[in-house]
Amino acid sequence: AQSVTQPDIHITVSEGASLELRCNYSYGATPYLFWYVQSPGQGLQLLLKYFSGDTLVQGIKGFEAEFKRSQSSFNLRKPSVHWSDAAEYFCAVAAVFNKFYFGSGTKLNVKP
């Protein structure tokens, strides 16, 4: 069965520090993987996606993610966090009919 695990519920980083949010997935075939960001009371905004090819994908707002098949991981990174990055981040894997399975999210706090 398809599933996504985001092991960190909350993460706090200082502004300007680097960030890595973890995502592990379970899927029988080559996955389609996504990271979304959600601000309070809002819908989800796509940050980046992986389908095939280069395992390091670039997204919007300076985010990147690396697909590691051997570890079933798709971790999200940013070299320098801005206060406006404070939000909740969701990793998702697409399955049959492109039905998405989401992780439970990681809430990012940014200290000034």
Residues lying near another protein in the complex (CB under 8 A)? 4, 9, 32, 34, 36, 41-46, 49, 51, 90, 92, 94, 97-105
Nearer to another protein, 15 or 32 (CB): 32
CB of 96 to another protein, least distance (A): 8
Q: Is 56 exposed, middle or buried (0-12, 13-18, 19+ CB in 10 A)?
A: exposed
CB of 42 to another protein, least distance (A): 5
C-beta of residue 74 within 8 angstroms of C-beta of residue 33: yes
Cα–Cα distance measured from residue 2 to residue 100, given in angstroms and rounded to the nearest whole number = 9
Nearer to another protein, 65 or 92 (CB): 92
Nearer to another protein, 10 or 69 (CB): 10
The separation between CA 27 and the C-alpha centre of its own chain, rounded to angstroms, equals 16
CB of 35 to another protein, least distance (A): 10
Q: How many helices (H) and strands (E) does the chain have?
A: 0, 12
Nearer to another protein, 30 or 84 (CB): 30
